[in-house]
Amino acid sequence: MKYTILILFIWLIISCKTTDLEVVPDEIAYKTNCLLSKIEGYIDASGKPGYSIEYFYNDKKQIIKKKFWSNDGTGDSSRTTYNIDYDYQYDQNDFLKEITISGQLYWGYALYQKRDPVAPIRGYVRYKYDGEKMIEEDMYWKFYGNFFYDVANPVTSKKTFEYDSKGDLIKYTDIDFRNDTYYLKNNVVHKAETNVGRQILQHEVNAEGQIVVENLYNYLSEPGRMDTDRFYYDKKGRVIKQEGYTNTKMWNYADIEYEEVADPTFTLPKPKNYPKLPSPRGNKNSIYKRRFSYYSNDNGKSFIKTGEYNYTNIKNTSNLPTMIQYSVTSFNLKGESTIEFPNYAKTRYEYINCN
């Protein structure tokens, strides 16, 4: 359990760095004056947040600082596991130049329920431009400490952007533990490529630039095996069904329903001249209402419900969630249920500038 909590918060830190900068086409971006100022996540019955993210702005409504904090899952603020600051720096033309990352990992609470040892965290996200066009986003961070995440194990990622002679985006890459490359025409993805070591993902893209089929060939551990995911979208471009196949035999699927409210993170201001990146995996500007997962152990002849995810939300007058509460129930092959996350699991959101 301790390692699970540690991995969860490492994922939160990594995802925290670049999700603020995800840009979607204007036609699906949410129009509002509200600015997200705080996120609090509650993961146990203590009634106290297990993590929080705060955003601070200047008079130009640019993010100038983000603070991330988490504890060991007890809700006790004195048992901090991470405390990290992200400081945003802009040039004289208001282009985002760099995000510096600094903080502490209280390694003892992450694993041993003790305050020490403490490991500093340092890193950055840097941006390069060709004139007014952003051409690169480079992220690097690492722990400093004498344990398995040490100076020799930094976390890195890079995005690159290419344009045609008219200045339109025609290609972008996203490189971290996997390499994703997307080719565009008229700001619509028409081709996608992915490599994960010796694993190769092949994509089929529809006319709207959405990935509808994704084939994974695992040449490393299971030569000859092909895993396939199929995606189905509603009229708003949201994934409403996902099917999983192994060597053409379907063995799982999920049905997804959405609330007609915006994702709170879409109120975060986008950096000046950051490319408008279409999402090849569907419109993300929605939040879940329900999600059901099913599994087959007889080659797709019949399916058993294995999971049920229910989300409820409270909205403000701008139709933005101020709280999303969720419960997760799992089912074994006999249909017996177990509540994995009771209703006390929730996320709270605060906004400024909603007038």
CB 218 within 8 A of CB 212: no
What is the predicted pLDDT for the residue at 308? 93
What is the predicted pLDDT for the residue at 142? 82
What is the predicted pLDDT for the residue at 5? 42
Q: What is the mean pLDDT of each run of 10 residues along the chain (355 residues)?
A: 42 44 40 89 80 95 94 60 91 96 72 60 94 94 61 79 94 88 88 78 87 81 82 92 92 93 88 85 83 89 92 89 91 82 83 86
SS3 state at 13: helix
Closest CA to 262 of 231, 228, 225, 287: 287
What is the predicted pLDDT for the residue at 105? 77
Distance of CA 353 to the CA centre of its chain: 25
Vertex 155 angle, CA 152 and 160, to 5°: 130
What is the predicted pLDDT for the residue at 220? 63
Distance of CA 255 to the CA centre of its chain: 20
What is the predicted pLDDT for the residue at 252? 95
What is the predicted pLDDT for the residue at 7? 40
pTM, rounded to two decimals: 0.83
Tell me which DSSP letter residue 58 carries. Answer: -
In the block, tokens 């890193």 appear at 123
What is the predicted pLDDT for the residue at 145? 60
Closest CA to 48 of 349, 351, 344, 350: 344
SS3 state at 336: coil
CB 196 within 8 A of CB 215: no
Q: What distance in Å separates the CA atoms of residue 138 and residue 177, rounded to the nearest whole number?
A: 14
